[in-house]
Each structure stands twice: as C-alpha cells, then as structure tokens.
Structure 1
Amino acid sequence: MMSDISPTELEFRRQGARGALAAGTGYLLWGLSVMFYKQIAQVSPFEILAHRALWSLLLTSAVILIIRHHTHFLGVLRNPRAMRTLCLSGLIIGSNWTVFIWAVNSGHILETSLAYFINPLMSVLVGVVFLKEHITNAQRAAIALAAAGVVYFTIALGVVPWISLYLAVSFAFYGYLKKTLRIDALEGLCVETMVIAPFGVGYLIWQSSHGGSAFVADGWYTDLFLVLSGVMTTVPLLLFTYGAQRIRMTTLGLLQYLVPTTSFSIAVWIYHEPLGMGQLVTFGLIWTGLAIFTFDSWYRERVRARLVASTRP
C-alpha cells in the first residue's frame, strides 16, 4: 500500500517512473527518425549533420533564455571537468549522427537496427567495466550470444558490420558519459552542439561557396526538414538524458529495444531492405541473447521487490 512506502522511497519510484517514460519516448522517436531522414536522402550527410548541430544549438539556447537557466548554463561553462566531458561527448555523438545519417540514406537501416539491438548489451558491459555494476551469468550469456552474432555476420557476409559496431559502441559510451555527469540535460546538449556547430557552420559556408548546398536550392520541403532536424535531435536527446540520470544502466538497456524494433520494422516492411539468411541468423542470435537478458533482469527485479517488501515493518 502507498501508506507503507516512505516519502524517500516514493520519490525515488516517481523519479524512476518519470525517467523510464522520458527515455522510452526518446527511444521511440529515435526509432522513427529513419523515416524522417529518408525525406532528405539527397542531401549530404555532412550537411545534414551541420544543420542538426546549428538548429539544435539555436533551439537549446532559446529554451535556456526563455526558462531563465542562463545562470546554470554559465556555471557549466565555468566547470572544467564538465566542459571536458561535454566536449568529448559532443564529438562522440556528432560522429554517431554522421554514421547514422549516412547509413539510413544509403539503404543500411537494417544495420542501424542491428546496432541498437546490440547496444543494450553494450550498455550493460560499459556499466560493468566503468560503473562496477554487477553482471549475472545470464547477462554474460546474452553478451556472448551478441558477440557470436557479430562473428557470424562477419563470416557469412564476408564483411565486418562496422556500421552496427560503431553506432553501438559510440552510443554506449555517450550514455556512460551522460550518466556520470550530473548536469541538466538542456545545458549539456547546448554545450555539445556548441562543440559541433563551428565545424558545421564552416562546412556550410564552404559548401555554399562551391555551389553545393541543398538549403534553399532544393526547395521549401528540404529546408523544412533540415530546420526540423534540430527539433528531431534536441527532443529525443533531452528525454534520453533526463531518463539516463534517473534510472539504472540495466533499465536503460532494456528500454533501448524500442529503437531497433521500430527501425527494423520500418526497414523490412516499409523500405523493403533485403533480409538474407546471414542477417536472419545474426538477428536470431542477438534476439536470443536479449530474451535471456530481459527475462533475467525482470526476474531479479521481482526478487528484489519482494525482499524490499518483506523487510518493511
């Protein structure tokens, strides 16, 4: 009963529920983003990245001013440790965006979905190595199955799935950095886009001077999606960061299934990307690992909840 729960535990549960809802919504938007970027497939990935960074920076800066968080923002800018971490996370997420955009618009959505099926297990591995989180035998088996899937993919198709591996590893480390940095999501994202934006603006100036910019030249439809890329970038990342700071890495890993499930369905049923035996076996191994991991996490959470309930007076 609610009356048996202490105020501290109740607040902890509320924070956890809000964090899970925020992270889950962010992940769902990421899964749907493959359809968003397909609308501007003719635009260079570097130009899209430049616009993502520029419009995200303008949007986050405007929000900071509107809600009067400029004092907090200046505090972040004066914090050397926070700035070092955010510069690193900005570069990591910028490279992740570039590879993701290129993959989506080059017909490799299935490989991006494979990346985000691997990513939950990669997040667990990062949590174990860097945050000293406990790992169970079932989780070890799940990680081993994911590794077997990658090895099979490499042997069967004769190529290392570098898109999947890079997206999974880079985003896991991005999540780790955001987990260890206790600042507001808005200020953090603003600094990260400040790191990327100068490179983006420089690229846009160079591209325009060489007559290659799609902005304006390709019409209002392309312009609209390039501008909205700031919203499509900012909203999911803010939701993810808010959630990452309030839930465990294991829970974060479970919620990440929303991204690859959505993008996998879109790749197969909407864009009809080929799904051969090599991909099916690879996905099968990883899905088996994720099923083991999910059941193990669910079971242990139930045991923990029962133990907590049994210790109450």
Structure 2
Amino acid sequence: MQSHRAGNALAAFSFVLWGILPLYYHFLPQANTNELLASRIIFSVPVMLLIIMILRQPLPSYRAIINDKRSLIFTVIASLIMCISWYAFTWALTHGQVLAASLGFFINPLFAIAFGVFFLKERLSNAQIAAVVLGIAGISYQVWNYGELPWIALIMGSFFALYGLCKKFIKYNALTSVTIESVVLAPFAIAFMLWQYLQGSSVALSSDIQTLLLYMGSAPVTLAPLIFFALAINRTSLTMVGLMQYIEPSLQFLLAVFLFGEIFDEVKLVSFGFIWLGLLLCTLEALIRGFKNKHRLRAQ
C-alpha cells in the first residue's frame, strides 16, 4: 500500500513537472526552434547516462541492442517521430501558443485510441467511441469558426500518439530506448549546430552565457520528469497513470489563460468542452472498471 501511494505521488509529480514546462520556455521567447531541438538532443545523451547511473540501471549492452534489430529500427523511427512532436511543442511554448500545446495533449489520447483500432486491432468501448466523436466535433467546431485547422495541436497530438505506438514494438526498457533515441540523432544535431556556428547564424552559440545555458537546460528540464515517471511506473497502476496524465495539459491550460494571457474565447470554450466531455466519459469508465476489478479480486 505504501509503495502504491509512493508510486501515485511520483507519477503525479512527473506530470506536474511536464505541466509547468511553459514557465521555463517563457525565458526563451521567439527562440530558434531548430537550435532548441538540436540542443535538447545533444545534451540528452549525458543526461540520460546520468539518469541511468542514478537509478542504478545497467548500461545498455551494445550487442543486445544490435541483436534486436526490430526494436532498433522502431527506436530510430520513434526518435524521428518524437522530433516532429517536440518541434511543434517547443515552437508553441516559445511563440505564445501554450493553449495550442495544451489542446495537443488533451487530444493525444483520442489519437492513441484511433491508432489502437487501426494498427493494433483493438476494440473500442462505448465511452471511447463517444470520446472520439466528441473530439472530432470539438476540432470541427474550431475549423468551422476559424476557417483553419489547429495544426500545432494536431501535429503534437498525432505524432506523440504515433511515438507511443512505436513503443509497443520496442523490447528495450524505457530508459534504454530514450537513450538510444538521443544517441542516434546526436551526430546530426552536433553537425547542425556546428554548421549554424560556422555560418555565423547560431543563436545559442553566439549569445550570452545565460541564453546558452537555457538552450542546454532544455534537455534536463524535459528529462527530469522522466526520472520520476520511471520510478513511478512499477509502483502504481496503469489506470492511475492514465488518469493523472491530464494533470499536464490542465496545468498548461491554466498557465496559458491566467498567466500568459492567451485568448480563450467562446469558440475555444466550446471546442475544449467537447474534448473534455469525451475525456470525462473515458475517465469515469476507467474508474468504474477499476472499482469492479478490485471488488472481483477481493471476492475471490
């Protein structure tokens, strides 16, 4: 019981850290998103190795990695997909679009449900069907009124769901796969940063030390929540993790509206309302299922 509570606390804390990330990126307005992404990739390698040492996990075996070619291929694909999702996320946070980032994480579970049906042949419950329909209705309402798709939110939500789908086919543990993702992309990121510097157009390498440190810090501040999440995942249930994941976009939503002063008009209220209602139905269904399963186990 104590371990379970500790797991819940660690999971909640990890999502809180992810949720308040906009506060960090608020110090980098109009940042060069390409360099920000490259900096995160480069400095993720030493940070991930440090995390593995802190958690006393064995270092990934080169032979084991190479022998599992299927996992390696999907890890490379996952790294490229994450780049796209993270690029959209960092652009949103550094260009006054935190509300769009929040929407992206709110609709991510809907994309995950859809991909589960199309690629994994999973069957939808009534609540999940309703959530997908309500999500489509919410996005459609925004498109109808604004005349354009919420591209940032859709890219974030869909590519992060694709990233999760790739993880289904990777046998490496979570820390190993994330480390490999960084190692694979690091040479390209280093080459890009050097090219930017030689061209005289590098923001991170040509600015003051504070700006450079902020670019470098994008790796640890985004990976720190992973430490707590990795510690939590074996100490709590996936149901609780699924329910607590909405802490992140909820905090981002509150920061966008009440701290950063982004416009939350009637159109967004209706659009978000549809999506929130669908997520509420899925949450209630998960809680009821968890309660029934617990009651059944006690009866046995």
In structure 1, distance between residues paired with 2:58 and 2:140: 48
In structure 1, distance between residues paired with 2:163 and 2:127: 25
TM norm structure 1:
0.85
Identity of aligned residues (%): 32
Q: Secondary structure at the match of 2:262?
A: coil
Please list the CA deviations of residues 157-213 of structure 1 after superposition, one character each: whole Å capped at 9, or x if unmatched.
Answer: 111111111111111121232244232222111110122222211211111012122
Please list the CA deviations of residues 251-308 of structure 1 after superposition, one character each: whole Å capped at 9, or x if unmatched.
Answer: 5442221111010000011110011111111011111111222112111211121122
Would you say 1:175 and 2:164 are equivalent positions? yes
TM norm structure 2:
0.88
Q: Which residue of 1 aligns with 2:33?
A: 45
Which residue, out of 85, 91, 107, partners 2:80?
Answer: 91
Cα 1:266–1:238 shift into 2, 3 Å: same
Q: Secondary structure at the match of 1:70?
A: coil
Q: Secondary structure at the match of 2:175?
A: helix
Question: Which 10-residue stretch deviates more, 264-273 or 41-50?
Answer: 41-50
Q: Which residue of 2 aligns with 1:261?
A: 250
| Counterpart contact for 1:182–1:245, Cα < 8 Å | no
Structure 1 residue identity aligned to 2:267: G
1:133-144 aligned at under 5 Å gives the runs 133-144=122-133
Question: Which 10-residue stretch deviates more, 251-260 or 102-111?
Answer: 251-260
| Counterpart contact for 2:102–2:249, Cα < 8 Å | yes
In structure 1, distance between residues paired with 2:170 and 2:85: 20
Q: Which residue of 1 aligns with 2:110?
A: 121
Q: Which residue of 1 aligns with 2:13?
A: 25
Would you say 1:221 and 2:210 are equivalent positions? yes
Q: Which residue of 2 aligns with 1:61?
A: 49
Q: Which residue of 1 aligns with 2:271?
A: 282
Structure 1 residue identity aligned to 2:24: F
Cα 1:78–1:243 shift into 2, 3 Å: farther
Q: Which residue of 1 aligns with 2:97?
A: 108
Cα 1:244–1:150 shift into 2, 3 Å: farther
Please list the CA deviations of residues 35-79 of structure 1 after superposition, one character each: whole Å capped at 9, or x if unmatched.
Answer: 111212243000000100000012223455674723535522442
Structure 1 residue identity aligned to 2:196: Q
Aligned residues: 299
5+ long unaligned stretches in structure 1:
3-12
| Counterpart contact for 1:153–1:160, Cα < 8 Å | yes
Q: CA deviation at 1:94?
A: 1.2
Q: Secondary structure at the match of 1:39?
A: coil
| Counterpart contact for 2:72–2:170, Cα < 8 Å | no
